[in-house]
Structure 1
Amino acid sequence: MTSPATGPARARSRRAVTVTAFAFLVTMMGTTLPTPLYSIYSTELSFSPLTVTVLFAVYAVGVVGALSLFGRLSDDVGRRPVLVAAVGLALLSALLFLLPPSLPLLVVARVTSGLGAGLMSGAGTAAVIDLFPAEKKAAAGTLAVAANTGGLALGTLVAGVLASAAPAPLTIPFAVHLVLCVGALLGLATWAPAPARRGRLRIRPHRLRVPASIRGAFARAVLAAGAGFSVTGVLTAVTALFLARDLHLDSHALAGFVVFLSFAGMAVGQLVARRMRPRAALPVGCAGLVLASAALATALAGASLAPLVVAAAVLGVSGGLCLNAGIATTVEQVPPAHRGEVSSSFFAGLYLMLAVPAIGVGLLASVVGLRQAGLVFAAVVAVLAAAVGIVELVSARRTD
């Protein structure tokens, strides 16, 4: 029989998990809301593919900047203040997107969104894991990544549907996100646990460090999950342009759906990964990334929609396997006092691999064209994923 004290404690814990995951999801939504709208911005403001990829990628500058400056902040001052700051930055970004668009304003809005995502990626993952008992760390890691990728998926889908079905496609998606941010802030203020102790607020660059005991696993995890992130980043940046310019499909909902498939597939990948050993999930995920790259190359070479949809779905599931395995073999293996720092280091690596290839594709596209640049990129990712998968298999055999 449950004691009187246990019932309310469990209810508080469930509410804390719910509002933390919701805040995580809402913050990450803001980073992909512009995805299906890039073709509109491109038309209205005469953006080239390079401008669009740079506009997409600059938010990673905010992410990595936040992780570098504040990677240990949630370890120092507690999780809740950092979560509140992250959602507040997402809200500010939504406000900026609601202003009349211009390239400088959009860049500022994207960097602001990136700062919020950077704070949330590290602190949110650590906060969710903290709220679960030790024997349920795997479930906590899955929920954290699902909130992350679920927010990314919902952002692009919601914006695409609203842009196609509602008036003012550059306004309504961000107005909806603004309301969700307010709800997340209220939830955190009401139910998120207060810090057990109040540390000192230190705003200075932190060298993101990884314990020596997990450095090999950390490098493989970042390269594998980062390969998935890099393909997802390129899909996010150029799908709307590819559909509109090469396939002559102007549906914003379709552009949002293709990218949604990738991020939703990541959530599916988490469920699959929970039934596998992390050391097995990583090479399987890498093999899937090779297949996704091949499907993407087929879509680009033949200018066809079906392989693009297949690439997005396979990419998502494969990336989810790699991401879940990466969390399990890095963040979940360190004590709580270092969890925020390791989590921040992990996501800093992922977001660098998200941004740099996207800009590289934009630069190459300005010389050889978008489709040819995508073919080169797909080949590079396939080679990287295959190499990491092989190294992981060899390492697993040595340690078994």
Structure 2
Amino acid sequence: MQAASVVPRSPIAFLAVALAFAINMMGTTLPTAIYRYYQLKFGFTPTVITVIYASYAVGVLGALLLIGNWSDQLGRRRMLLAGLCASAASALAFLLSSGLALLILGRLLSGVSAGIFTGTATVAVIELAPPAWRGKAMLAATASNMLGLGCGPLLSGFLVERFPWPMQLPYAVHLALVGAAALAVSGVPETVAIPARVKFGIQKIALPAEVRPVFIPAALAGFAGFVVVGFFAAVAPQLIRVVLGFHNGIVTGSIVFLLFACSALGQIVQTFIAARWRQAAGCIGLVVGLVCVGLCVPAHSLGALLLGTALAGIGQGISLRAGLGEIASVAPAHRRAEVTSSFFVVLYVAISLPVIGLGIAVQHADIQRATLLFVGLTIVLVLIALFLLMRGQTNQRYNGEVIGD
């Protein structure tokens, strides 16, 4: 097996893995425009819909913790193919579903595929980048992730509006795309030397004392950002239908796509912001975006929702990229994987438990009150993160002045 240092880094292999990354992540948000059909056919309550959605996080966390570091032992290519197999199995479960059990199984398998790809594909894209593209490799990986997440609702929204079989066709199309991605990935070179003796182990979760001052505000901001992601993927379609009166799946899919596209844009924008202000800028973007989302409820304004979606997406992207960078910079090199995994555990908890609570609120009140409650609580969370960020920077400056004296 070739070592990483002698792997030919061709543009074709790089693009093949980046495209496979996007296709795989597309499957995780594909059901967003289809949930209303499940409600109509099976009579599911809003709580059940959010439980189906949130079961995805269980699969992600399980994969991150149990097999998150297996690509170092088995190779990137094998694990990417395993992730695509899990994505294909998820599509089949949805395609054949006749009730709640297979829908939850489909979401779990979708989460497993995302958990495998989150780490493995990110590293593979960076390792396969041609020398001239190395500076943009991380951006290409994160953009593939976010744009793939955004394309899922866009694809399913288009298919359910323009073609028959709304609960089957999107998954059949995605299954074909996964097959094409698997063929592409099978031809890319391996980027790691597989050890003679394979050693598997559970990914450790740890938070060294020196990391905590940076980790806590970054995790709070990241948590709030992923709560927003969960809201748009699971609950926003009902808000768009009930409050704004738009029943077209293409409209719903486009609005959710806007969030993820702006998140990718935010990850680009953050490079133009001074490092010390990046997380604060992300928090401010989230707060202003959430205020606009809240205003769309009493005003019944699509414009307010679109503006709020764009600003929240940009803020989420800035916070995510800046938070990861800050945490990686202060974490000890030999414990960086543990600390990063801890950060992702926080993020994926954020797209499960709060969204289930929101589904319960929708069921017992209404979508308008539940949305306003969501906006208010999430803004409070972001403001706490912003306060901790500012206090931490003030302490750092004070300590620096004291040492300088």
1:30–1:177: 8 Å Cα contact kept in structure 2?
yes
> Cα distance, 1:375 vs. partner?
1.1
The reply to whether residue 181 of structure 1 matches residue 178 of structure 2 is yes
Question: TM-score w.r.t. structure 2 length?
Answer: 0.88
Give distance in 1, aligned partners of 2:331 and 2:121.
16
1:154–1:260: 8 Å Cα contact kept in structure 2?
yes
Report what 2:56 is aligned to.
Answer: 59
Report what 2:162 is aligned to.
Answer: 165
The reply to whether residue 148 of structure 1 matches residue 145 of structure 2 is yes
1:126–1:343: 8 Å Cα contact kept in structure 2?
no
Flag the 1:208–1:29 CA change in 2: closer, same or farther, 3 A.
same
The reply to whether residue 270 of structure 1 matches residue 267 of structure 2 is yes
**Aligned positions of 1:40-59 closer than 5 A:** 40-59=37-56
- Counterpart code for 2:232: L
**Aligned positions of 1:36-115 closer than 5 A:** 36-115=33-112
More moved, 368-377 vs 286-295: 368-377
The reply to whether residue 15 of structure 1 matches residue 17 of structure 2 is no
Flag the 1:156–1:310 CA change in 2: closer, same or farther, 3 A.
same
Aligned residues: 392
Indicate the SS of the match to 2:34: helix
1:292–1:310: 8 Å Cα contact kept in structure 2?
yes
Flag the 1:278–1:60 CA change in 2: closer, same or farther, 3 A.
farther
> Cα distance, 1:203 vs. partner?
5.6
> Cα distance, 1:61 vs. partner?
0.8
- Counterpart code for 2:250: A
Report what 2:310 is aligned to.
Answer: 313
Q: Which of 225, 228, 237 is matched with 1:228 structurally?
A: 225
Indicate the SS of the match to 1:244: helix
The reply to whether residue 122 of structure 1 matches residue 153 of structure 2 is no
Give distance in 1, aligned partners of 2:216 and 2:124.
23
**Aligned positions of 1:203-214 closer than 5 A:** 205-210=202-207, 213-214=210-211
1:122–1:343: 8 Å Cα contact kept in structure 2?
no
- Counterpart code for 1:14: P
Give distance in 1, aligned partners of 2:336 and 2:185.
21
More moved, 69-78 vs 27-36: 69-78
> Cα distance, 1:214 vs. partner?
3.6
Cα deviation, 1:313-337, whole Å, max 9, x if unaligned, reads: 1111111111111232234776887
- Counterpart code for 2:190: P
1:121–1:343: 8 Å Cα contact kept in structure 2?
no
Flag the 1:258–1:382 CA change in 2: closer, same or farther, 3 A.
same
> Cα distance, 1:133 vs. partner?
8.9
> Cα distance, 1:26 vs. partner?
1.2
- Counterpart code for 2:257: F
Flag the 1:104–1:202 CA change in 2: closer, same or farther, 3 A.
farther
Give distance in 2, aligned partners of 1:189 and 1:338.
32
Give distance in 2, aligned partners of 1:80 and 1:335.
28
Flag the 1:13–1:218 CA change in 2: closer, same or farther, 3 A.
farther
1:12–1:191: 8 Å Cα contact kept in structure 2?
no
> Cα distance, 1:212 vs. partner?
5.0
> Cα distance, 1:161 vs. partner?
1.1
Indicate the SS of the match to 2:182: helix
Report what 1:190 is aligned to.
Answer: 187
Flag the 1:31–1:371 CA change in 2: closer, same or farther, 3 A.
same
**Aligned positions of 1:308-387 closer than 5 A:** 308-331=305-328, 341-387=338-384
Question: TM-score w.r.t. structure 1 length?
Answer: 0.89
Q: Which of 369, 392, 396 is matched with 2:393 structurally?
A: 396
Give distance in 1, aligned partners of 2:394 and 2:366.
43
Q: Show structure 2 runs of 5+ residues with no match.
A: 1-5, 398-405
More moved, 116-125 vs 27-36: 116-125
The reply to whether residue 26 of structure 1 matches residue 19 of structure 2 is no
Give distance in 2, aligned partners of 1:219 and 1:349.
10
Give distance in 2, aligned partners of 1:42 and 1:172.
18
Identity rate, percent: 36
> Cα distance, 1:98 vs. partner?
1.4
1:247–1:304: 8 Å Cα contact kept in structure 2?
yes
> Cα distance, 1:118 vs. partner?
0.9
1:265–1:314: 8 Å Cα contact kept in structure 2?
yes
